[in-house]
Amino acid sequence: MTQVFLHPEMADYFVEYSFTDALGPEGRAVGQRIVDDYTEEKLILLRSLRFDADLSFLRQVVFYQKWKFKKLATSRFETVPDSQRARDPEIAEFVTDVFGGDWGRFGYFMEQVHRINDQVRRTLDTVFAGYRFQTRDVIWRFTETRVENLHFDVDRGCDNLELIRLYVNLDDIPRIWYTSGTFTATAQQHYQALNLARFRDQPTDALLLELSKKVLGGWTNRGRESAPKHLVLFEPGDVWLSDGRAVSHQVVYGRRVVSSLFIASRDGVPDVTKTFAHRLAELHAREGAPPPEPRTAHSPAERARPLQGKQITDLRASWEELSEQQRQNTIVRL
């Protein structure tokens, strides 16, 4: 179960799917719906995935709290043959810092890395069938993260790239996020006041940084943001998909998450209308065309309109009284 404390003035953009449905007879259609939701700036919980790895072992692994281990690209470690690992300076440093020089434990760790990374790759290749990815990295974030600032991801040099980010909470405690406005809703709402038309010919990350600073509060205001936010507790084992450029977010606390960074160029995307670059161009065409009409469609009440068909779960029952099914497979809206 994933607990979501919804802010009443924010759109409810949380959806969930069973991954087994993406493998069934209607699998392609289900996969397409997930892709559509991803590109329509939703946060997607992906259920029914069980990771076949020694989680008890992994939950005892503590990354040395070092900046370079914050986002460890284990997919690079995977490319180094066993026999050459000791000669790789980055791996040798990692084994010294994290495993006290115990190469046997590191070897066992890498077995678990292979298992989980393979499953992450298979999952994304199934859902995003038809995409041609130029990068299929899997990043392990096992250092402790506390109170990031609320932000849109600022990815330099990615203007014409699609970035697919899937997360797996491997820890035995929840990973706690706040999420705030989506890119399109936020940029639209503040387009005129922030004169965002001036970013039309600038790299996309400049616009995302402007929104993060001016609307969401920036690094120095972290923990004290005034922007409306949903609070989300991703439970152990939860898997979710969210484009960090499309859904603003903030890790409040977390350890031991695995995340993907799959990258496709515009040529590798089956439908170019389902790209961040396309949505950005549409935004400028729509909002940057003078004269601006007075806007009424994005009042807080409008943005708060919930998605159709969502059930509000009554959580007056205590956590312990919930069935295993409710704990594992449900977004609980509070």
Q: What is the DSSP letter of 151?
A: B
| Minimum CB distance to Fe ion smaller for 181 or for 244 | 244
| Minimum CB distance to Fe ion smaller for 219 or for 319 | 219
| Minimum CB distance to Fe ion smaller for 106 or for 177 | 177
Structure tokens at 226: 């005034």
Structure tokens at 88: 């790789």
Q: Which stretch binds Fe ion (CB under 5 A): 115-123, 135-143, 242-250, 270-278?
A: 242-250
Q: What is the DSSP letter of 14?
A: E
Residue 311: CB minimum distance to Fe ion, A: 29
Structure tokens at 259: 């995340």
Using rule CB under 5 A, residue 217 touches Fe ion:
no
Q: What's the rounded Cα separation, in Å, for the pair 326 and 189?
A: 36
10 Å CB burial of residue 24 (0-12, 13-18, 19+) is exposed
List binders of Fe ion among 146-165 (CB under 5 A). Answer: 153
Tell me how many degrees the CA angle 146-166-3 measures, rounded to the nearest 5. 60
SS3 238: coil
Using rule CB under 5 A, residue 244 touches Fe ion:
yes
Q: What's the rounded Cα separation, in Å, for the pair 32 and 176?
A: 28
Residue 154: CB minimum distance to Fe ion, A: 8
Contact in structure between 165 and 247 (CB atoms under 8 Å): no
| Minimum CB distance to Fe ion smaller for 30 or for 247 | 247
Residue 43: CB minimum distance to Fe ion, A: 13
Residue 259: CB minimum distance to Fe ion, A: 10
Structure tokens at 222: 């972290």
How many residues touch Fe ion (CB under 5 A)? 2
Q: What's the rounded Cα separation, in Å, for the pair 170 and 251?
A: 15
Site pattern 260..299 for Fe ion (x: CB under 5 A)? ----------------------------------------
| Minimum CB distance to Fe ion smaller for 174 or for 244 | 244
Q: Which stretch binds Fe ion (CB under 5 A): 86-94, 206-214, 240-248, 260-268?
A: 240-248
Q: What's the rounded Cα separation, in Å, for the pair 228 and 10?
A: 7
| Minimum CB distance to Fe ion smaller for 244 or for 254 | 244
Residue 145: CB minimum distance to Fe ion, A: 10
Which residues of the shown chain bind Fe ion in the complex (CB under 5 A)? Answer: 153, 244
